[in-house]
């Protein structure tokens, strides 16, 4: 996740009266370039719906639309104690979730720092042993070792994995700096369960989940008005419930006891929307970001909306304006010319600068980049940050509108999580305004029929609720996925 720092009071915008004409001309050009108007958003949504549908066909498309094998809606009455683990890039999070059965839950958690070399160990057993040992330590802390009942565990594994059923995950490729041999192409569930069993821990892995699906299910548990789970963070993603009869690529593959009208949670992975560059309003800076990325032509939507790229877009514009002789003249921009030297905390802090003379912005550029700025330059920088952040929010909600229109949702709550949603100044307001513009809603925004709300903990509570639903299916002897899986 991107760390954006503490929230400050919303900054005062200030006057542009003292900005020289040549900089004002640039500001107007940037406004034209980075503004996504209502008509553009509606075009994006229309194409988005087509791409979502294409992803469910046997042929497939840019958007993977991965079945999550959660085939029930939580009722909010699920109860009991569940374990959840979330394997991140730097920490393992272990959570004890107590589902009340009354649409509420309590959590207790501990974090265990991954040893520095663990992500590239040559022996995959070391990773699973570390997780099993951490689980044992947690159970000792929580006095759970003497429990008579086996504790069901939900495993949030946010790495590309294919699933033919809820309690398996075949790793396709490592990401987030992991590169451990003999795991890709294998089901990670028995690899971990084997180490748990060696320690005689009363734990059974009953579900392997994606964090966005977890966000959907955890939020539905506490709020049945939930229609989607979305992440606006380092990446961007959405999850929702479709219906089996509309998922062509599952035709003929499902067990007989999974009816056509069964719900199915879908992990969209829609950061790859519009890889063909047909509708997204890309600027020359978006093109540069794409061309200089490790995977050009992929993740087109993510590169315009997610936290990983917003600071880089800002940096590219500033370097070009300097090269055109319009700002930061005669200074050494060596630091500023380093790709990705600006993460998303930079535009966030600049937008949050509470001072009329943008004093915090001046400090940032002097301390971090050794560059002095004039007040008119800071006003341009500030306006550029607003444009980049607002465009990201407005484009990001096109995925929400597309799924709501595809599924015929007229009302509902969209459960959102992620560092950009939670911490980027003005993002929530710009996202809500984007939805209003797509739908043409007028009047009091608090009465909007579809609203974005803060999500519940997807990788903790969500994993637990999914474990509860899976445990119930297992107890009832129901199928968990594809025939023979």
Task: Measure the CA dihedral 7/216/214/57, to 10°.
Answer: -130
Q: How far apart are CA 96 and CA 145, in angstroms?
A: 13
Catalytic, out of 12, 18, 79, 173? 173
Q: Could you tell me which of 434, 408, 356, 352 has the C-alpha nearest to residue 385?
A: 352
Residue 218: strand pairing partners = none
Contacts of the segment 195-199: beta carbons below 8 A, 24+ positions apart: 195/125, 195/128, 195/129, 195/131, 195/132, 196/132, 196/135, 198/132, 199/132, 199/133, 199/136
Active site residue 459: no
User: Token pair for residue 22?
Assistant: 């040549």
Burial of residue 43 (number of CB atoms within 10 Å: 0-12, 13-18, 19+): middle
Catalytic, out of 134, 158, 272, 306? 158
Q: Are 376 and 335 in contact (CB under 8 A)?
A: no
Helix (H, G, I), strand (E, B) or coil at 183: coil
Q: Are 268 and 65 in contact (CB under 8 A)?
A: yes
Q: How far apart are CA 163 and CA 171, in angstroms?
A: 9
CB crowding 393-409: b at 16 or more within 10 Å, else e? bbbbbbbbbbbbbbbeb
Catalytic, out of 86, 187, 211, 457? 211
The beta strand positions in 216-275, using DSSP E, are: 226-232, 236-243, 263-267
Q: Could you tell me which of 399, 160, 437 has the C-alpha nearest to residue 274?
A: 399
Contacts of the segment 187-193: beta carbons below 8 A, 24+ positions apart: 188/155, 188/157, 188/161, 189/155, 191/124, 191/128, 192/128, 192/131, 192/132, 192/155
Active site residue 436: no
Residue 97: strand pairing partners = 82, 107
CA 1 to chain CA centroid, Å, is: 9
Q: How far apart are CA 455 and CA 418, in angstroms?
A: 9
Cα dihedral 221, 222, 227, 228 sign: negative
Active site residue 382: no
DSSP state of 254: B
Q: How far apart are CA 242 and CA 267, in angstroms?
A: 10
DSSP state of 120: G
- Active site amino acids: 158, 173, 211
């Amino acid at each position: 996740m991107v760390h954006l720092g503490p929230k400050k009071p919303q900054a005062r915008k200030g006057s542009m009266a003292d900005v020289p004409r040549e900089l004002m001309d640039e500001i107007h050009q940037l406004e034209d370039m980075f503004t996504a108007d209502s008509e553009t958003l509606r075009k994006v949504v229309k194409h988005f719906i087509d791409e979502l549908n294409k992803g469910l066909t046997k042929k497939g498309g840019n958007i993977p639309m991965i079945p999550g094998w959660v085939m029930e809606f939580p009722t909010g009455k699920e109860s009991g104690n569940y374990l959840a683990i979330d394997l991140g890039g730097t920490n393992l999070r272990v959570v004890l979730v107590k589902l009340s059965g009354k649409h509420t839950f309590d959590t207790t958690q501990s974090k265990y720092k991954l040893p520095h070399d663990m992500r590239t160990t040559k022996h995959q057993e070391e990773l699973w042993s570390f997780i099993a040992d951490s689980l044992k330590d947690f159970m000792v802390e929580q006095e759970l070792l003497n429990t008579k009942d086996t504790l069901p565990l939900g495993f949030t594994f946010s790495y590309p994995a294919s699933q033919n059923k809820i309690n398996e995950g075949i790793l396709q490729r490592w990401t987030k700096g992991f590169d451990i041999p003999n795991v890709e192409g294998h089901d990670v569930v028995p690899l971990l369960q084997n180490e748990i069993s060696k320690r005689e821990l009363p734990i059974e892995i009953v579900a392997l989940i994606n964090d966005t699906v977890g966000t959907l299910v955890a939020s539905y548990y506490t709020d049945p008005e939930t229609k989607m789970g979305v992440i606006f963070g380092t990446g961007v993603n959405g999850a929702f419930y479709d219906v089996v009869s509309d998922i062509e690529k599952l035709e003929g593959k499902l067990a007989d006891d999974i009816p056509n009208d069964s719900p199915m949670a879908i992990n969209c992975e829609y950061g790859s929307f519009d890889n063909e560059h047909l509708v997204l309003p890309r600027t020359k800076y978006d093109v540069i970001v794409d061309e200089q990325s490790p995977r050009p032509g992929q993740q087109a939507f993510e590169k315009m909306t997610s936290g990983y790229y917003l600071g880089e877009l800002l940096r590219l514009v500033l370097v070009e304006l300097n090269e055109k002789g319009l700002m930061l003249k005669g200074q050494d921009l060596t630091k500023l010319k380093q790709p990705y030297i600006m993460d998303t905390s930079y535009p966030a802090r600049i937008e949050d600068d509470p001072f009329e003379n943008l004093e915090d912005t001046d400090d940032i550029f002097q301390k971090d980049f050794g560059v002095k700025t004039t007040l008119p330059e800071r006003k341009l920088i500030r306006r550029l940050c607003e444009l980049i952040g607002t465009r990201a929010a407005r484009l990001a909600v096109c995925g929400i509108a597309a799924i709501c229109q595809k599924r015929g949702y007229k009302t509902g709550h969209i459960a959102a999580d992620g560092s950009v949603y939670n911490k980027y100044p003005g993002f929530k307001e710009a996202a809500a305004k984007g939805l209003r513009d797509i739908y043409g809603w007028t009047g009091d925004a608090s009465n909007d029929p579809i609203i974005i709300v803060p999500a519940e903990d997807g990788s903790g509570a969500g994993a637990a609720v999914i474990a509860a639903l899976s445990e119930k299916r297992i107890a009832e002897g129901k199928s968990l996925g594809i025939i023979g899986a």
